[in-house]
Structure 1
Amino acid sequence: MLQTPIEPIAEADPISMATLIESIQADAELSDARRRNVASSIRRLCGALDIALAEAPAAFWFLRERLAQVHPAQAGIKPHRWQTIQSDVAFALKRIGLAPDQPKPRVDLSEEWANSLQHLDQIRRRHWGLSRLARYCDGRGIAPAAVDDAVMADFLSYLRTQTLKTKPERALRDVCVLWNRLASDAEDIALQEVTLPDNRRTYLPDWEAVPPSLRREIEDWLASMSKEADLLSETGPLRPLHPASVASYRYALRQAIAGLMHSGRPLETITSLGMLVEPRAVEGALEFHRIRMGVKQSQMLAQKTRRGLRGRVEAGFSGGGNSYGYRVVRRFLADGTAVNGEREIEPLEAEIVRRIFDEYAAGHPPRTIVAGLKAEGIPGPRGGAWNASTVNGSRQRRNGILNNELYLGRLIWNRQHFVKDPETGKRISRLNPEAEWITTEVPELRIIDDETWARVQELKSRYAGWAGNTRQTRKRLLSGLAVCACCGGSMTIARRDRYYCATRREKGTCDASHGIAAANLEARVLGGLQRLLVGNEALLDAFAEAFRQELARLRGSRQSDATKLRRDLAETERGIARCLDYILSSDTPPASVRSKLQDLEADKTRLEAELAGLEADLPSPAIEIHPNLPELYRRRVAKLAELLENQETRPEAMEAIRGLIDRIEVGPPETTRGPCRVTLVGALASVLAFVSEDATMRNRRALVGHGGYAFGTTLLVAGA
């Protein structure tokens, strides 16, 4: 295997790139065009590499290191132009004598080398792959038959120190592959095959570099596994391992050693097999191999965090969050490190917890307890109002004050985990099996005695089967749409299938006492929709015309804005081009205009984002009102009316229009015994309000805004 260390060319006092330009411009043997082109290429290269002409040394090794870190696309240069620039710079460096082994260009090869390359053409191989090697060897008087591993090693050193090739090792391997094919196919010219360089970088330690004691233990263990063992022996397999299995075991052990090394353990300190199976060593090795296999860093961090949290919970510390009745302990150790996860009882909040347990044990429901706390002005766990669910919680998930076993001196962790809903993107909690829960006794955090706890849990289990405490599972037509017009909170089913304000029931912060029967609300909404949808087909022409006018206005306004943005973007791009031309054509360091260029790039990014957003929102010219829309509307409404009339198909009709309704606001009645006010809010309300108005009102409203039609978003539904 060919291995030659990289050694930069030794120069007592290397010249700068600025001096290189001066030398080229003073070279009388070059034409004026050639001098200009080479000087321009040097400036262009230094600008792309972001290096100052007066500070950058004119050396192959310096430029090659930086060229390996830059892609032509980053500098805004096309690949063929990038190759031309590198060729011109290499020519300039060779011109001043920095490449003494460089073969002379445009000189005919000797007959031996010309015949060898001609054989490549005969066997349909590309001869230009060996042209650099041929000129290098011919210039030094090396015949094709004399090319061996030593010549290839010298050629690699030449590629590293006197060319701008960013990957000389790969270039050498390609040359060796082609040379060996020539040597095997053209036997009449008697060429030597050379050793292919192995450029692979293995992460495994060299077997000879492993400490002798560890190597001895591994070999002894593998030897014991590969021979027949006594049936009564406690060591060794019943059947000897196959040699291939022994090799696999040895490779796996080398992987374990490599993982331990890359996790921070020096190789010379790994002296026995026992060190490879220590828990911390195994974790470090597994983490290294996860990274090699492409496991996301975030996943590894999550796993490591959970392992750390579990250890802290088992030690009696908090695993995250803080329960009502406790406060976080802030203290530092003698070495200055902070102590995390410690909790202690908050006396005032602990008294509130005992009061809640005592009142519930005495028969007071959670809503009554919450009302008393609110009346006394006692803030809730998060500083706001108390909620009945905060007290009651869930017996299955063990949350809520009455179910929190920490008040009993028992810390429970890992009760649930979260998954993401692929449709909504929201996190959803899932209960873990009880066998996976981590429980630790913390008697110093006990607030409630065993007798009170048992009494409360007995009452909760007794009430859990009551009809009022079972969850409403029936899906209603208007589920999730009804809201209270007074506070904006949701309205839920309670007391014989009637909708009531949930905020009033749970928190007591809303004064709305009105309710509406679910059947009444459904009849009013669906009946009102049926009356408005059917019989108004003739008014759809006016709606279509207003829709066309609004589209035309929006399109004209946004096209004007888009034209201005395109004009500003073009001016910004011209400014960027001027800055680049100044950098490439001037000897001034690019730092002087870098801030201006960065500002222009930021403006370009902002303008492109604004233009893309505006074009995305621009109404498409393809959006037009179909001439037969009234007839189509009549057919669709007739079908929808049929669905609404049939009790069995009403849910299907409601699903068709749910997406057009944002919410249904239910307000208090205007008179003592009158019906509640029901208002539709959403896009469907806009269309229905339009078709339900008379022509005079539409004409008055048509002038609202910028010449367009001001559609409403609410529609009052009359009582059934």
Structure 2
Amino acid sequence: MRAAIYARYSTDLQSDASIEDQHRLCLRLIESHGWSEAETYADRGISGASHLRPAYQRLLEDARNNQLDVVVAEGLDRLSRDQEHIAAFFKQMRFQGIPIVTVAEGEISELHIGLKGTMSSLFLKDLAQKTHRGLEGRVRKGKSAGGVTYGYDVVRDLRADGSITTGERTINAEQADIVRRIFTDYSHGISPRAIAASLNDADISGPRATWGASTIYGNDKRGTGILNNELYLGRLIWNRQRFIKDPSTGKRQARLNDPKDWIVEEVPNLRIISDDLWEAVKARQKATRSSAIRDGLRAVGRMKRATHLFTGMLKCGTCGGGFIQVGKHYYGCANTRNKGTCGNRLTIKRDDFETRVLSGLKDKLLHPDLIAEYVRAYQTEYNKLAGQIRSERISDERDLTKVSRQIDQIVNAIAEGMYHPSMKTKMTALESTKAALTAKLRNASDASPVLLHPGLAARYQAQVANLTEALNDTAVKVEATSIIRSLLSEIRLIPQDGVLAIELVGELAGLLSLGATQNVKDRPTAACSLNLVAGVGFEPTTFRL
């Protein structure tokens, strides 16, 4: 009798010596029956719940090719822990006339398949429940349930009893800077694909060596991807999804859990991203998704990002249709070109158009009224920050007085003979707090904060004068473009005396109106206009350049 030995252990955490131990027991059984060993089939670190095991599949193939007479294993659960698979294996071996003999159960019959198969399945279910319970307990303590998140390092400390800590994490400063960079770039309008390309060009390693767009954008419902990981906010979310094995392929498929089953724990010590930056990213993601989906269908072309500064914002002042790129360098009315329903046949060169807009903006933004508004807003914010600094200093001085009084009280109690070991711990904590407060107050400036920078107006003028240069600077172009586009809802091109007049619509137009003539009766029609809609309020302000 040619006896084939099958041996297996489940995880890489188990010792490879387990295979040798199983082989030794099976060999003893073979010798006791007077059989000869044919071959040993061993699967290392593979769960018995899967039938896609190399050695297991090879055993089946050799059995079909009549290369063995009996299968020997330590126990039936070594062959499989799945009821369906172990029944199929037994049926195949019986068809080939090959008995199955194990050290634990002896020769396997239908009774063993039914009982042991059920017990093995229950064992797997019970093991999964216990593992889930243990991981939940770890998460509720603010610890990791497994895996390494980009931006953090795993901490392994030695406990007093000699064991190693698990689930502890700390922020990786270098990777945290990359995370903040990704969030900032995306909030400024850079696509995940472009962000990934820039990181790869800079030879910055990602979670899986190189960066990809999906690594950054991920899936917001599943909480995957850099931009959706709430751990960067100091919030640990676990049990968002579960995995179910596809019986036909053996691969795991993710299934979302009900939000009420999620485990959420606050871990402020792991925060990397500010609330404002997070909200800016979420707002852009929402806007991107809403523009991509229309009436439940993906709108083709809606996801295309602006190629130039004002792409997609131009409207014809005659028909209200879009102004599109005509040829390589010109803009023209889309309805005129595609439908012939508009009489506005004027075109404008893209470079000339952008130059006119930026030059007009620069001139209007240098109006004295706008400079005064800039100075006023700056002064208000600066005074607010200065007031916060003063308040913090007063609070620190109050806390220092309180801590010093507590220290004096403990010292007096000890001097009077009242001593307890807990006083030492309390005194150490108070002295540490006092030292920190003293250092903070010592390093704080005693000078009164400057309420207004003397060169503020000149700084504003310099920034406006360099507007065009800033939009050509690759370091700030994306952010500057995003800001300008967010302040405009549309730009109208209106035929006037054989040329196209430019009219801005939106918040930026309202800002420019601050520097326009305040007397509406004396104001030229081509300069600025405000429209009032009854029962609604003011429409977006318009401004002619």
- TM-score, with structure 2 as normaliser: 0.33
Between structures 1 and 2, the one with greater helix share:
1
Between structures 1 and 2, the one with greater strand share:
2
Bigger Rg, which one: 1
